[in-house]
Amino acid sequence: MKKLNAFLTIMVAAGSGLLAVSAFAQEGAPWCDSGKPIRFAEPGWDSGKFETEVLRVIVERGYGCKTDLIVGAPPITLSALVNGKLEVWVEYWEGRTEMTEVAAKQGKIKVVGELVKGGGIEGMYVPEYVIKGDSARGIAPMAPELKELADVPRYKDVFKDSEDPSKGRFVNCVTGWACEKDNTQRMKAYHLNETFNNFQPGTGASLDAAVASANQQGKAILFSYFEPSSLLGKYRSIRLQEPAWTAECWKTINQSTTNTPCGSASPSTNLAVAVTTAYADSDPTILAFFKRVQFSMQSVNTTIAEMAEKKQPARQVALEFLKNNPQLIKEWVPADVAARVQSSL
């Protein structure tokens, strides 16, 4: 009788697909076993989109999880994470967003892993040809002695604002991003606000379009950006020098509104995976996977530059990346999980 019951159980499971779910459950992913989807935020920039899809593919195909992708501006999706309206936020710039840092201290979320080796960097950039010229395109250097951000006020005519020719234009980060507020403080610290307009794009696409247009036309542009990024992978740019990071001056730049900030380069920032504590505690196996994921800066920049050039969806790029890098999957997850992912590709 016991053998008959066992046989019937196996047949029912095979017929309904539950046998596969049971196999995934053995990997220790109870959230997925319950049938609840893992809700991922889409960060809004190419590197975050790509990394998010890599993680989604692995949890779906390796662990049998369902996932949803929640699209929205970073302040909105980070708020949703803090309030438990989604579970995972990939490529979180650790220490840069006060709301999220407070939530971590309160135990609402956990920030884990080191997604990109060496961390992310950001600053104010100019196209390489502005300083070095580009003989192949017949572009002479426009500001050959420009090296430091503190020197920028002397070059307002090089970066002339077409809507206000009396000043230069600085193309800031998107309104609401942490770097937009930091750069507004930098403008005070380096006295740029006396000779430059602080232009704030409404979307990441608008920022990218402004930089791409200037590069394609060989025009000067002073803009804020970050790495990893497809844009800087495609257009050679130079980050202008700032005084070395100090905790004292950084406090006057980051999350500050003081009128007397002092200059400080941004610190190298750990790029992490932020998850709700409720999800982290319920799925320790997948949390361990999140902790192990790591890309090189070069691989991310190269991959997303090609993604942008070919206008490929992040999902397609993630699938191709995993297919071409099976050794990475084996470093991140157990052998049987890696085998399932690879066979699905």
pLDDT tens for each residue of 83-105: 999 999 999 999 878 899 999 99
Q: Which residues contact 227 (CB under 8 A, 6 or more apart)?
A: 120, 121, 122, 297, 301
> Which residues are registered as beta bridge partners of 176?
none
pLDDT confidence tier of residue 232, bands split at 50, 70 and 90: confident
Q: How remote is the C-alpha of 246 from its chain's centroid?
A: 24
Q: What is the largest CA-CA distance in the chain?
A: 91
20 is a domain residue: no
Nearest to 127 by CA among 196, 225, 273: 225
Q: The CATH number of the domain where 241 resides is what?
A: 3.40.190.100
Shared-domain flag, residues 237 and 129: yes
Three-class SS state of 340: helix
CA angle 143, 148, 150 (to 5 degrees): 105
235 is a domain residue: yes
Shared-domain flag, residues 214 and 283: no
pLDDT at 292 over 60: yes
- The pTM of the whole model exceeds 0.85: no
Q: What average pLDDT does this structure show over 154-168?
A: 96
Answer with the one of 253, 285, 308 that is the final residue of a domain.
Answer: 253
Shared-domain flag, residues 249 and 164: yes
Query: How far apart, in whole angstroms, are the C-alpha atoms of residue 58 and residue 337?
Result: 8
Shared-domain flag, residues 226 and 247: yes
194-230: per-residue pLDDT in tens?
Answer: 999 999 998 888 999 999 999 999 999 999 998 888 8
Give 179-209 as a DSSP string: HHHHHHHHHHHTTGGGTEEEE--SSHHHHHH
pLDDT at 314 over 80: yes
pLDDT confidence tier of residue 44, bands split at 50, 70 and 90: confident
Q: What average pLDDT does this structure show over 277-293?
A: 95
Shared-domain flag, residues 191 and 279: no
State the first-to-last Cα distance of the chain, in angstroms, to the nearest integer: 42
Total domain count for the chain?
2
Query: How far apart, in whole angstroms, are the C-alpha atoms of residue 114 and residue 117?
Result: 7
**Which of 107-121, 223-237, 258-272 shows the lowest mean pLDDT across its residues?**
223-237
6 is a domain residue: no
Query: How far apart, in whole angstroms, are the C-alpha atoms of residue 192 and residue 151?
Result: 9
21-42: per-residue pLDDT in tens?
Answer: 333 334 557 888 888 999 999 9
Shared-domain flag, residues 206 and 226: yes
pLDDT at 18 over 60: no
262 is a domain residue: no
pLDDT at residue 263, rounded to an integer: 95
Q: The CATH number of the domain where 51 resides is what?
A: 3.40.190.10
300 is a domain residue: yes
**211 burial class (0-12, 13-18, 19+ CB within 10 angstroms)?**
buried
Shared-domain flag, residues 164 and 281: no
Answer with the one of 229, 253, 277 that is the final residue of a domain.
Answer: 253
Does 117 or 20 have the greater pLDDT score?
Answer: 117
Mean pLDDT of the chain: 90
209 is a domain residue: yes
Shared-domain flag, residues 127 and 244: yes
Shared-domain flag, residues 186 and 62: no
Domain that holds residue 218: 121-253
pLDDT at residue 19, rounded to an integer: 35
